[in-house]
Amino acid sequence: MRRFLAPLIHIAGLAPLLVLWYYWFFANLVNPIQTLTQFSGKTGLVLLSFCLACTPLNTLLGWKWAIGLRKPLGLYAFFYAALHLLIFVVLDYGLDLALIQEAVLEKRYVLAGFAAFLLLTPLALTSTRAAMRRLGRNWKRLHWLIYPAGMLAVLHYLWLSKDPRQALIFGAILATLLILRLPPLRRSIVRLRSRLSPN
């Protein structure tokens, strides 16, 4: 299953780039920078949610192959978060450091988004097997940062949106995935699944 899904993950991870390319060159949008910013950010949040769903899928359904999809999904989520930030910094603010600093300090949604990106950065940098070996048990502790990063990303989306419904849906999904990762509940689900298993 993992071998079958791996190419699909890469196709799904790269397809939004074609959408962004179409938006920028051919869509004739009234505000293309805003569209690119919103689309790249939402894509990153969707991929981050899928990444966080991999472990609960293994816990609930015994889908061990889902664990192997966490890394590519997480890296694609980081890629679109970085692209989201790059569009904001380069296209929207023209690399004007004074304006960027002012936006980070004065606009809470910018601060939340920037903080989320900072938390995701060490996770992307330590996604290799060599980093896992060097960090040992600390690797898992470090990678729990994905949850506060996800919460900050949802806050960023919520504070930015005029209609909060989609952001609240993402928040509910994130909260559910986090609850399913709690050790007592996770152990209970595994025991229940073992009892119900025909084997």
pLDDT classification of 2: cutoffs 50, 70, 90: low
What's the whole-number mean pLDDT along residues 29-35?
91
The C-alpha atoms of residue 149 and residue 119 are separated, in whole angstroms, by 6
Say whether pLDDT at 77 is over 90: yes
- Confidence tier at 44 by pLDDT (50, 70, 90): very high
3-state secondary structure the chain: CHHHHHHHHHHHHHHHHHHHHHHHHCCCCCCHHHHHHHHHHHHHHHHHHHHHHHHHHHHHHCCHHHHHHHHHHHHHHHHHHHHHHHHHHHHHCCCCHHHHHHHHHHCHHHHHHHHHHHHHHHHHHCCCHHHHHHHCHHHHHHHCCHHHHHHHHHHHHHHHCCCCHHHHHHHHHHHHHHHHCCHHHHHHHHHHHHHHCCC
Stretch 151-166: mean pLDDT: 92
73 pLDDT higher than 90: yes
Chain centre to alpha carbon of residue 71: 11
Mean pLDDT in residue range 51-79: 90
Q: Is the pLDDT of residue 199 over 60?
A: no
Is 61:52 a contact under the CB 8 Å cutoff?
Answer: no
Q: Report the C-alpha gap between 160 and 46 in whole angstroms.
A: 16
Write down the pTM of the prediction: 0.91
How large is the average pLDDT for residues 45-63? 89
Contact 72, 8 (CB under 8 A): no
Residue 3, pLDDT score: 73
User: Is pLDDT above 90 for 169?
Assistant: yes
Question: How is residue 15 written in tokens?
Answer: 């397809």
- Whose tokens are 């949610």? That residue is 49
**Mean pLDDT calculated for residue range 58-73:** 87
Q: What's the one-letter identity of residue 172?
A: A
